Amino acid sequence: MEYSIVFVVFAAVLWGMIFLVQKFLERVDPSAEKMDMSRFIPYAVVLAVIAVIRLLALK
């Protein structure tokens, strides 16, 4: 049960970090195009799987 909570928190933090980087880049260079989130979803899934495996290995 706690692993599903960890996954949701991890996904929210990752999305928030990407959002903040995008806002920072817009302030630095207003002509910068918006980041395509579909490029980051596979990486987020892989990182989440690695995180769950590591958590299971620690128990």
Q: Which residues of 24-52 are buried (b: 16+ CB within 10 A; e: fewer)?
A: eeeeeeeeeeeeeeeeeeeeeeeebeeee
Mean pLDDT of the 9-21 span? 83
- In this predicted structure, the answer to whether residue 14 has a pLDDT above a threshold of 80 is yes
Residue range 29-47, pLDDT digits in tens? 767 666 666 777 777 778 8
